[in-house]
């Protein structure tokens, strides 16, 4: 489940788009923090509804592509289904396969829509706390 003690992301200056510096003790925590940061950056507000559990399975060629695909999956749900996510429990195997359970809740509003997650500056690296990366969003 989402561990609030490890929520670790911050908006950073970027010339034309939005960017987040994201950290996590491991790959699943990094992915959860990236998702939470993206939703906060977009100004997503959710209902108090308990929501429903949803299974997500994604496979990619490497961990950076997996991160982009994960965030795109969430963006599609935000835009097409008006659903946001809480309580993300992810398992990532070999940095290329993600299987997770998320709690999908109705989205009430989104202040600043995100068009896409880019590969610009995306490089997951080791850090003293675990892992970190910069994610640039096209807005």
Say how many domains are in the chain.
Answer: 1
Domain residues for the domain of 127 are 4-138
pTM, entire model: 0.88
pLDDT truncated to tens, each residue of the chain (139 aa)? 444 445 576 666 656 578 999 999 999 999 999 999 999 999 999 999 999 999 999 999 999 999 999 999 999 999 999 999 989 999 999 999 999 999 999 999 999 889 999 999 899 999 988 999 999 998 8
pLDDT for 77 equals 95
CATH number at residue 94: 3.55.10.10
Give the DSSP per-residue string, 3-35: -GGG--EEEE--SSSEEEEEEESSHHHHHHHHH
- Strands of the chain, DSSP E: 9-12, 18-24, 44-46, 52-59, 83-93, 97-110, 116-117, 125-127, 130-138
Burial class (CB in 10 A: 0-12, 13-18, 19+), 115: exposed
């Amino acid at each position: 489940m989402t561990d609030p003690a490890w929520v670790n992301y911050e908006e950073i200056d970027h010339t034309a788009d939005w960017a987040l510096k994201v950290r996590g003790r491991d790959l699943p925590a990094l992915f959860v923090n990236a998702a939470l940061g993206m939703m906060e950056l977009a100004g997503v507000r959710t209902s108090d509804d308990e929501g429903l559990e949803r299974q997500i399975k994604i496979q990619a060629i490497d961990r950076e592509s997996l991160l982009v695909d994960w965030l795109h999956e969430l963006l599609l749900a935000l835009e097409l289904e008006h659903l946001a996510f809480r309580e993300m429990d992810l398992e990532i195997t070999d940095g290329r396969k993600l299987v997770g359970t998320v709690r999908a809740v109705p989205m009430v509003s989104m202040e600043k829509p995100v068009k896409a997650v880019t590969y610009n500056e995306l490089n997951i690296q080791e850090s003293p706390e675990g892992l970190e990366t910069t994610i640039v969003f096209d807005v």
